[in-house]
Structure 1
Amino acid sequence: MGDIMQESSAAGFGQILASIGDLFVWTIQNIALAFYNFGYAVTNPSLWLDWSDKQAIMRFVYYGGSVEFFFVVFTTFLIVTAIGMWKRNFMWAIVRGLEGFANTTGRFFAWAGLLMVLQQVIIVFMQRIFTRPDIVFGFGVPLQFDISWYAEELKFYNALVVALCASYTFVQGGHVRVDLVYSGVKYRTKKMIDMIGSLIFMLPAATLIWLYGWFFMWRHLIVPKPSASDKLERLIAKSRALRWNVETIGFSPNGFSGYFLFKILLVAFAAMIFLHGIAFFYRSYLEWKEGPESEGKYLDKDTLGEGEEAYEGTH
């Protein structure tokens, strides 16, 4: 009986090792193929960017959520990281560029919060004071929608702030952080935690959101609806019947008709979080490498200006 259990354990351990070996070989093969796939895509852009061709649209849909695209991104990350570890100024430039992109995007779309407040005030005035069922903007051929359309559009403004200002808020240190051990450990340990967190949690989560959101978005833009399980050949076959079918149905008869925009924002959110996960990993590594004196280096954080300085001076 004991011999049988030992043989079973040995066989199970051998299968695990074989699976790990197969995974390693598969990963190396896909990293090697990434160079070919990237070169082929760059030299043949019409195959996936010429949207007058229905097959090109389906290729774009397939590759946007494919293993091939993942390994192109992953291989690029490995190469940039290797160059950055060799030339730290290059890595700092990547950090500044990605953080600048997050800050610029967030600062612009944060104004959607003000638009949301102003539009809500207009809706209240039109409903309660002027008792109008709709709001009309413009001359000649005016923009006219029911009050309920504008009321539901407020969700879109909120989605703009949430999706496109998340990485900006991260740069500014505005997200709530649950701290169990972080504040009590040494400086370099903190940076190690940040690096591990970005690689183990932030980047994989953004990747999963992208993979889900990519096909979720396209299923509300075209028919026949693509599936994440469809192979390229299957999607090419579906392209014969392809037509645009953009989702314009609201929750109410006269409600907001641009709900496909929320799906696009989900994909944009995933992309921005992924990019900032890379920036956060690079910053954490550089601050770990260069020591406490580099903490916050090149960090562009918003301040309240003179008012804040005056407040600090009186306290």
Structure 2
Amino acid sequence: MLNGLIWLVTEMGLGFYNIFYALTHPGLWLDWSNKESLIRFIYYGGSQEFFFAVLDIFIVLTVLGIIFRKFMWAMVRGLEGFANFIGRLAAWAGLIMVGQQVIIIFLQSIFRLGEITLSPLGIGFTYSLTWYTEGLKIWNAAVVALCVSYAFVQGAHVRVDLIYAGVSHRAKKVIDMFGSLFFMMPVAVLTWMYSWYFLWRHLITPKVSASDQLDLMLRKARIVKWNVERTGFSPDGFNAYFLFKILILAFVALVFLQAMAFFYRSFLEFMEGEESQDKYLDRDTLGEGEEAYEGTH
């Protein structure tokens, strides 16, 4: 147990060092014209070092928030505002998806066209209707992945309540804090670790793995090259499936940030009592008289 504690303290200390070193040597991991820099970016993006760097940042922000209550409220408002902004923007993908489906049916059923040419800003590109049909999935995925934290802020998720409604205000906040720290964050971290390499295995060759050590990956840098996934389910179907992998990472990042916001809000509402319930919470409204339906749209 003592060895484990020493290891934890050592890794947390190294986390601060790694943050400082990465910020002062950006060329080592951001200069993708150098293949070794690209490999370092890939390795550290899903590494133990990255985990402890994020953990250190979270701990520092939490300590500062406990000392300066206004700073913690500012973080809550900022994180929830960011979630709302991304969600409200991404929600328009649903309208785009419906419009695209209508256009596909209209052109295919009435004009019997086999392809569509679009020329935004004078730059034209032509794809088959099959490409646009399969491409509908990316809009649906964008809504799901990018609106997840927005839906959480709005209280729109489906919940099964067995004990929560009957307990006191402070007990609810303890449950919320526990859920944020021991459910939302660990699941987000674990999913990130798997999804990170899942993405990069479809972007470069030779394939990389979470079990690869940095030395081995740097040796691979000599032969690494871009190999972006371009294979669709049909010969002329949608061929940008790597975008789904990017959306998975965006989904996980938004969940983690929302877990931070929810933990901070729960802590502040625990400390300040019931009068702080939903303080600064920016929720959409359907209008006067529609309160019963809010949170379900």
TM-score by structure 2 length?
A: 0.95
Question: CA offsets per residue over residues 273-304 of structure 1, 9 Å max, x none?
Answer: 00110000000000011000000000000012
* One-letter amino acid of the counterpart of residue 48, structure 2: V
Post-superposition shift, 1:55?
A: 0.1
1:307–1:181 distance in 2 versus 1, CA, 3 Å: closer
Post-superposition shift, 1:137?
A: 1.7
Question: Greater CA deviation, 150-159 or 140-149?
Answer: 140-149
* One-letter amino acid of the counterpart of residue 155, structure 1: K
1:69 correspondence with 2:36: no
Aligned equivalent of 2:185: 203
What is the aligned counterpart of 1:130 among 111, 126, 132?
Answer: 111
Aligned equivalent of 2:155: 173
1:109 correspondence with 2:90: yes
* One-letter amino acid of the counterpart of residue 138, structure 1: S
2:150 match: secondary structure: helix
Aligned equivalent of 1:236: 218
Query: Percent identity over the alignment?
Result: 59
Q: Distance in 1 between matches of 2:85 and 2:124?
A: 32
Aligned equivalent of 1:266: 248
> Unaligned stretches of 5+ in structure 1?
1-19
What is the aligned counterpart of 2:194 among 200, 212, 222?
Answer: 212
Question: Greater CA deviation, 252-261 or 131-140?
Answer: 131-140
Aligned equivalent of 1:91: 72
Question: CA offsets per residue over residues 174-216 of structure 1, 9 Å max, x none?
Answer: 0011111111111110110000001110000100111011000
Aligned equivalent of 2:124: 142
What is the aligned counterpart of 2:19 among 38, 52, 58?
Answer: 38
Question: CA offsets per residue over residues 81-138 of structure 1, 9 Å max, x none?
Answer: 1111111100000001100100000000100000000100011111111111111222
* One-letter amino acid of the counterpart of residue 298, structure 1: Y
* One-letter amino acid of the counterpart of residue 120, structure 1: Q
Q: Distance in 2 between matches of 1:301 and 1:65?
A: 34
TM-score by structure 1 length?
A: 0.90
Post-superposition shift, 1:43?
A: 0.7
Runs of 4+ off more than 3 Å: 305-309
Q: Distance in 2 between matches of 1:69 and 1:141?
A: 40
* One-letter amino acid of the counterpart of residue 226, structure 2: W
Structure with higher Rg: it is 1
Post-superposition shift, 1:307?
A: 7.2
Post-superposition shift, 1:42?
A: 0.7
* One-letter amino acid of the counterpart of residue 222, structure 2: R
* One-letter amino acid of the counterpart of residue 265, structure 1: L
1:241 match: secondary structure: coil
What is the aligned counterpart of 2:274 among 292, 300, 304?
Answer: 292
Aligned equivalent of 2:30: 49
Post-superposition shift, 1:34?
A: 1.1
Aligned equivalent of 1:6: none
Question: CA offsets per residue over residues 55-86 of structure 1, 9 Å max, x none?
Answer: 00000000001111110110111111111111
Q: Distance in 2 between matches of 1:76 and 1:144?
A: 46
Q: Distance in 2 between matches of 1:307 and 1:112?
A: 28
Q: CA RMSD in A?
A: 1.5
Post-superposition shift, 1:142?
A: 2.8
* One-letter amino acid of the counterpart of residue 263, structure 1: K
Aligned equivalent of 2:99: 118
> Unaligned stretches of 5+ in structure 2?
none
Q: Distance in 2 between matches of 1:43 and 1:195?
A: 35
1:156 correspondence with 2:156: no
Post-superposition shift, 1:308?
A: 4.0
Question: Greater CA deviation, 137-146 or 70-79?
Answer: 137-146
Instruction: Give the number of aligned pairs.
Output: 292
Post-superposition shift, 1:35?
A: 1.4
Aligned equivalent of 1:17: none
2:222 match: secondary structure: helix
